[in-house]
Every structure is written in C-alpha cells, then in structure tokens.
Amino acid sequence: MRPSASATAVGDPGSLSPYWRFHQAVAEAQLTSWLPRESRLLVDISGPRARAAGIAAAAGHTVLRIADTAATAPVPPGELLALPLRPQIRPPRPGRLVRLVSDPGNLGFLSDRCADGLIAEDRTLSRQLAAENLITDIARVLRPAGRVLACVDSLVLGMALLAEQRHWAELTDLPHAEVVLVPWPDGTITRCFGAEQLRELFEDAGLTVMWIRPRTVFSPSTVAHVLRRDPKGLSRLVEAELAMEPDESVGVQLVVSARKRPRATGLRRHR
C-alpha cells in the first residue's frame, strides 16, 4: 500500500522506517559535503530532529546550536561568555558545540556579520510563516561570502497534503499563490515553497543561490525494495542519490545552498 502524504511528512516510523533511515543518511551526506573545509563559526537553527550541529562540530567547526526549550538542554555554566552576542565577543575554540535555549526564528541577539555559515535543516524556514523576516536576519548575521544551507517543505508535499485533506479549492488556487500555507498533520501550519519562490526569498535578502535540489528523489517504495533485496545497500543508495542531477521541482523537501554577497568595494571619487 502506498504511504500517505501525512505519514511521509511526519516521518512515520512504521512501514516508512527504511525510507527515513535513507532520508537521514542523505541529509547528513549533503551537509557533510556542504561544510567548509577549514574550521569556521557556524550557527545552527535546525529543527529538533536534525543532527547537523553534532556533525559540524565533529568536523572541527565551532557551532552555536539555537533551539527552543523542547528541543535542547540548557547552556552549561560559563559557555554564554563565548557566544557571538551583542556586542560581538571573540568566538570559542574550533570543534566546540555550544547550546543556547532561544527562539530559532529570532536572531536579534546575535551580532551583525558574526558567523561564517548558518544551517537551517529540518524544515526551519517552513515552520516560520513569515520566513522573509528570518531570512533577512540570517543574511544580517552572516559575514560577507558567508553561506547558508536550508531545507524546506516543497509544493509537491503541499499539494499532496491538501489533496489528502480534500481541500480542493485551495489546491486549485495553489499555482497562483505567492505564499502557500498548508495544514500540517499535527495541527500546525507549514509554509511550502517551489524552487522559484525559494530562490526569490533568498535573492531578495541579499543572498546568491548556489543550488537548489530535492532532498531525495527515490520514493519510499523504491528505497524499501532496494534495502529488502540488499540490507547493506544503504550507502550505495545514498551515493546514487547524491550523484543525480534532478529537476528542482520534485521531492517532498527542497534543499538550498546560498552565499551572502560580498560588500561592494571601490574608491570614492573626491571633487
């Protein structure tokens, strides 16, 4: 039986367990390939299921993990002194993970141009209905040429959820909507993006989009079939996924990598 859109959306651990193991492995492989080669100061505002902060710290980066109280532990005593708060303070040593209990959708306490990169995995921008405000804040805290990696819910998933919920009128209007808000299975609202909407969101904030791609192209049924035949074939399946050059519009989630534009330089002409 084909899995429902709701089960796919929330990561139902039942029959979709092989697919979500694959999904997580792809996400972590994409993050690893995106991480800078040299040690950098990164801010992580990913959702609660992401393991991006630990992976980045293990790769030698200093990571400030920002999450709400339901998703993280309190900051250990003394670590607040090392955070890039206003006014800017010297960052801690490389390879360190610092946790901060705060709203990941509000970065107002961070200094301008304090971070080399920002990670927003596990649907962070989709959870923020006014994503324009958050992406503007992200651009502010990034240094020139700083990078961001983000994952959002796609229009493909939004259409599947609306169809499953029998919202036919909303489904008809969806291709013409500038902002697409869809009821999530847990009663919250998710903001879904097409590739062009996502590109416009980042470009308007002063970020140059490097690439947009689906998180995964393989369907849950394909993944389950392959892993049934070869239980040790997960790594090869991930390699096949990463080697693809898929259409931007497919997949239930989209991943975007963008870079902050360098500040304009040049000599002023004196009269």
Q: Model confidence over 83-111: pLDDT tens digits?
A: 444 544 455 456 899 999 999 999 999 99
In this prediction, residue 46 has a pLDDT band, given cuts at 50, 70 and 90, of: very high
The pLDDT of residue 268 = 45
The pLDDT of residue 160 = 86
- For the segment 202-216, what is each residue's pLDDT rounded down to a tens digit? 999 999 999 999 999
Contact in structure between 48 and 122 (CB atoms under 8 Å): yes
pLDDT greater than 90 at residue 184: no
In this structure, which amino acid lies at residue 135?
A: I
Which tokens hold the place of 203?
A: 């470009």
Which of 34-48, 228-242, 255-269 is predicted least confidently? 255-269
pLDDT greater than 90 at residue 163: no
pLDDT greater than 70 at residue 40: yes
Q: How far apart are CA 125 and CA 80, in angstroms?
A: 26
In this prediction, residue 6 has a pLDDT band, given cuts at 50, 70 and 90, of: low
Beta bridge partners, 65, equal 44, 99
In this prediction, residue 8 has a pLDDT band, given cuts at 50, 70 and 90, of: low
Q: Residue 115: which residues within 8 A CB-CB, separation 6 or more?
A: 41, 42, 43, 64, 84, 141, 142, 143, 146
CA atoms in the 13 A half-sphere facing the CB of 266: 6
pLDDT greater than 70 at residue 122: yes
Report which of 66, 168, 183, 195 is spatially closest to residue 129, judged by C-alpha positions. 183
The pLDDT of residue 177 = 77
Cα 137 to the center of its chain, rounded Å:
15
Q: Residue 74: which residues within 8 A CB-CB, separation 6 or more?
A: 99, 101
Three-state helix/strand/coil letters over the chain: CCCCHHHHHHCCCCCCHHHHHHHHHHHHHHHHHHCCCCCCEEEECCCCCCCHHHHHHHCCCEEEEEECCCCCCCCCCCHHHHCCECCCCCCCCCCCEEEEECCCCCCCCECCCCEEEEEECCCHHHHCCCHHHHHHHHHHHEEEEEEEEEEEEEHHHHHHHHHHCCCHHHHHHHHHCCCEEEECCCCCEEEEECHHHHHHHHHHCCEEEEEEEECCCCCHHHHHHHHHHCCCCHHHHHHHHHHCCCCCCCCCEEEEEEEECCCCCCCCCCC
Contact in structure between 49 and 56 (CB atoms under 8 Å): no
Q: How far apart are CA 223 and CA 230, in angstroms?
A: 10
Which tokens hold the place of 19?
A: 């697919």
The pLDDT of residue 255 = 96
The pLDDT of residue 94 = 62
Higher-pLDDT residue of 220, 265: 220
Cut 0.85: pTM above it? no
The overall average pLDDT reported for the chain is 83
The pLDDT of residue 3 = 52
Angle at 85 between CA 84 and CA 86, to 5 degrees: 125
The pLDDT of residue 264 = 55
How much of the chain, in percent, has pLDDT values that exceed 70? 78
Higher-pLDDT residue of 180, 267: 180
- For the segment 255-270, what is each residue's pLDDT rounded down to a tens digit? 999 999 987 544 444 4
C-alpha dist (Å) from residue 196 to 121, 128, 211: 19, 18, 12
The CATH number that domain 5-260 falls under is: 3.40.50.150
